[in-house]
């Protein structure tokens, strides 16, 4: 496994991370434990969760799995979603953050969180209030680093300048949805992260499983997959154009004796600002498959060839 610094910090994270949004949903406690332990065995130290995943079960499962091996894990969780029915039990206000971090610490069974992330922007709360509260948590030792997820570029820049001008802890990472089919992050978020030294942690790198090849042209999504039962997502993802590009990408990967999963992750890692690709897994063997991507370093020529395939998809040719 290869490791990279997370943004401009000194924190080293595995280039392939473990996403756990299925824990507490499609993945029960026993299976989650096997997945986490397999991740650690193959060298993955970046484990990403949220207090909203599985209504808190994801954090609980992870906490039990890493008991006794806490130091081997870079534990990342997120806050923003509702933790109760009250008006102050959601968002990024000081009152909610303090409640949320204590709950997460308890569920995770740890004294500190390595990377505490704002799950999504809260435009009703001043960014200064959020950053001051997170700065307090760092000074208290409950949080070591802070980051964010789903922030537009202007909000990332605002947060960076607010932290800089007020001498507060600043975000070291940003999590955008980013994959071969969804490259919106390249317009502004990626350049902004590069300018301000934030490590990029792409989520949904396999486009909800489409880039694994588990879906087939003209057939409904297989039972148990992420797109199963989601007619709108199937309509937008399982298109003829997407299958056309998938087939070209699969050919590219096979010719180089790699899988489509490896190509999807390796392509993201070819962007220097990407620190770790957050890849979900519900089975230990999926963790192993994801981890193999760390060994494939696309050459500049290979990266350009893949980009040409993807650009052709954008042009509809």
What are the residue numbers of the active site? Answer: 53
Strands 12-14 and 74-79: unpaired
Say how far apart CA 66 and CA 290 lie, in whole Å.
20
- 116 DSSP β-pair partners: 77, 146
Interaxial angle between packed helices 300-315 and 260-269, expressed in degrees from 0 to 180 and rounded to the nearest 10: 100
- 76 DSSP β-pair partners: 48, 115
Which residues have a Cβ under 8 Å from the Cβ of 146 and sit 6 or more positions away?
115, 116, 117, 118, 134, 137, 138, 169, 170, 171, 172
Interaxial angle between packed helices 127-140 and 94-108, expressed in degrees from 0 to 180 and rounded to the nearest 10: 40
Q: Is 207 exposed, middle or buried (0-12, 13-18, 19+ CB in 10 A)?
A: buried
Which residues have a Cβ under 8 Å from the Cβ of 157 and sit 6 or more positions away?
192, 196
- Closest by CA position to 161, among listed 192, 189, 188: 192
Say how far apart CA 50 and CA 287 lie, in whole Å.
19
Say how far apart CA 171 and CA 143 lie, in whole Å.
12
């Amino acid at each position: 496994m290869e490791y990279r610094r997370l943004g401009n910090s000194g924190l080293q994270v595995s280039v392939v991370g473990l996403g756990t949004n299925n824990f507490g949903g499609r993945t029960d406690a026993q299976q989650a434990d096997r997945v986490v332990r397999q991740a650690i065995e193959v060298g993955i130290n970046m484990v990403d969760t949220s207090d909203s995943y599985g209504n808190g079960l994801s954090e609980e499962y992870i906490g039990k799995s890493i008991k006794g091996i806490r130091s081997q894990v870079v534990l990342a969780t997120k806050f923003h979603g509702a933790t109760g029915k009250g008006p102050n039990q959601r968002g990024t206000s000081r009152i909610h953050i303090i409640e949320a971090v204590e709950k997460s610490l308890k569920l995770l069974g740890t004294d500190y969180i390595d990377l505490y992330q704002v799950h999504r922007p809260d435009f009703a709360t001043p960014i200064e209030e959020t950053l001051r509260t997170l700065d307090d948590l760092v000074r208290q030792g409950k949080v070591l680093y802070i980051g964010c997820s789903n922030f537009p570029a202007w909000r990332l820049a605002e947060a960076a300048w607010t932290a800089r001008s007020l001498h507060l802890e600043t975000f070291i990472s940003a999590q955008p949805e980013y994959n071969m089919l969804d490259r919106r992050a390249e317009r502004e978020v990626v350049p902004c992260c590069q300018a301000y030294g934030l490590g990029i942690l792409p989520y949904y790198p396999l486009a909800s499983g489409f880039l694994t090849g588990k879906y087939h042209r003209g057939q409904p999504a297989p039972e148990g997959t992420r797109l199963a039962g989601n007619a709108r997502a199937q309509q937008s993802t399982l298109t003829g154009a997407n299958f056309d590009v998938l087939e070209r990408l699969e050919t590219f990967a096979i010719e180089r004796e790699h899988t489509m999963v490896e190509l999807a992750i390796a392509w993201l890692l070819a962007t220097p600002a990407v620190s770790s690709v957050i890849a979900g897994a519900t089975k230990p063997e999926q963790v192993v498959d994801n981890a193999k991507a760390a060994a494939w370093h696309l050459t500049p020529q290979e990266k350009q060839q893949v980009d040409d395939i993807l650009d052709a998809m954008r042009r509809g040719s």
